Amino acid sequence: MRRLVEHYNRRDVLDAFLFISPWLLSFLLLTLGPLLFSLYLSFCHWDGGSLDRLNWVGLANYKRLLFEDHRVRVSLYNTAYYSLISVPVGVVLALLLAMALNQNVKGIIFFRTIFYLPKVVGGPATVVLWAWLFNPAFGPLNTFLGMIGVPAEWRPGWLNSEVWSKPALIIMSLWSIGGSMLIYLAGLQNVPRQLYEAAEIDGAGEVGKFFSVTVPMMTPTIFFNLVISIIGSMQVFAQAYLMTNRTLGDPNESTLFYMIYLFRKAFEDWEMGYACAMAWLLFGIILGLTLLVLESTPFWVHYEGEKK
């Protein structure tokens, strides 16, 4: 009997491995393998050509990017600037938008769809639209500023200006807060109505209900969106790359974000080992920020039914 059970157990295990083998094989070949290879490359010098030209250099790449390459510091500053503004603004605006769309009124599905569409519409069409909006000569934004009496010399140069280029990209990033809005909307619809009724009995107004009921009940969702937004903002690339006509940082490196500089080192200078070291440094930064936010959750994230 025992041998029979062991036979069936081994057969079940074998069947299970056969069942997951397509995923397991693709994970090993397409995810784990390249990941480990990139870690190895970060300690090497390689131009992306023949593996015969791959040379071990130890910690030289990390020493260079941490202490010698000033553009790494510039790109980290630009990325931090972008993240510190775009993340909190995006998180707050998405929550307020979700609250506005969490109403039982006629046609609300249409408006939810309209605000979510920018999240799924991307690519060159979006870039052309925003490039037109930000055009300092004939774009609608500066045209409107001129109509209300703002002198030409006071109007922003947007993507042509070292000062306004990052704010322009931050404004553009808010175009796609529909994804966070949808997550907030799902969370808002799970807040028990009885809590709002109890707050009304206690004399709370709309603002009081927002801070005493909505915000505490939504903190798990806020936490999720915050982490996702931090990760996304630290990897900003496509919109800056396309909006600056693939100049990789102009004007005057004000849009030289970390991922853009990594792209330059990998596919313009063909320093694959150095680019891999940059990627692993970014991984460490994102991991550290995520763990920092995670460690802060006991102080501000409240789960339903949790005892404090």
Q: Is the pLDDT of residue 4 over 50?
A: no
Structure confidence by residue, pLDDT tens digits, 226-238: 999 999 999 999 8
Give Cβ neighbours of residue 265 (< 8 Å, ≥ 6 apart): 271, 274, 275, 278
Structure confidence by residue, pLDDT tens digits, 34-85: 999 999 999 999 998 888 889 999 999 999 999 999 999 999 999 999 999 9
Phi, psi of 48 (to 5 degrees): 85, 0
Give the residue among 154, 222, 216 at the shortest CA–CA distance from 183. 222
pLDDT band, residue 246 (cuts 50/70/90): low
Q: Is the pLDDT of residue 7 over 80?
A: no
Q: Is the pLDDT of residue 202 over 70?
A: yes
- Residues 231/282, Cβ–Cβ less than 8 Å: no
Residue 305 placed within a domain: no
Q: Give the position of tokens 């109505």.
A: 193
Q: Is the pLDDT of residue 286 over 60?
A: yes
- Residues 95/221, Cβ–Cβ less than 8 Å: no
Segment 131-139 mean pLDDT: 90
Residue 17 placed within a domain: no
- Residues 130/171, Cβ–Cβ less than 8 Å: no
- Residues 77/85, Cβ–Cβ less than 8 Å: no
Residue 53 placed within a domain: no
Predicted pLDDT at 306: 62
Question: Mean pLDDT over all residues of the chain?
Answer: 90
Predicted pLDDT at 163: 92
**Which of the pair, 248 or 74, is modelled with greater confidence?**
74
Residue 2 placed within a domain: no
**Which of the pair, 307 or 263, is modelled with greater confidence?**
263
Give Cβ neighbours of residue 289 (< 8 Å, ≥ 6 apart): 230, 234
Structure confidence by residue, pLDDT tens digits, 164-184: 999 999 999 998 899 999 999
Predicted pLDDT at 9: 72
Structure confidence by residue, pLDDT tens digits, 212-222: 999 999 999 99
Q: Bridge partners of 55?
A: 45
pLDDT band, residue 5 (cuts 50/70/90): very low
CATH number of the domain within which 168 lies: 1.10.3720.10
Structure confidence by residue, pLDDT tens digits, 79-121: 999 999 999 999 999 999 999 999 888 889 999 999 999 888 8
Residue 20 placed within a domain: no
Q: Give the position of tokens 């909505």.
A: 214
Phi, psi of 55 (to 5 degrees): -125, 135
State which residues form the domain around 174: 67-300
pTM above 0.85, yes or no: yes
Segment 249-276 mean pLDDT: 92
| Share of residues in the chain with pLDDT > 70 (%) | 94
Residue 18 placed within a domain: no
Q: Is the pLDDT of residue 247 over 70?
A: no
Phi, psi of 206 (to 5 degrees): -65, -45
Instruction: Report the domain count for the chain.
Output: 1
Residue 169 placed within a domain: yes
SS in 3 state form for the chain?
CHHHHHHHHHHHHHHHHHHHHHHHHHHHHHHHHHHHHHHHHCCEECCCCCHHHCEECCCHHHHHHHHHCHHHHHHHHHHHHHHHHHHHHHHHHHHHHHHHHCCCCCCHHHHHHHHHHHHHCCCHHHHHHHHHHCCCCCCHHHHHHHHCCCCHHHCCCHHHCCCCHHHHHHHHHHHHCHHHHHHHHHHHCCCCHHHHHHHHHCCCCHHHHHHHHHHHHHHHHHHHHHHHHHHHHHCCCHHHHHHCCCCCCCCCCCCCCHHHHHHHHHHCCCCHHHHHHHHHHHHHHHHHHHHHHHHHHHHHCCCCCCCC
Residue 43 placed within a domain: no
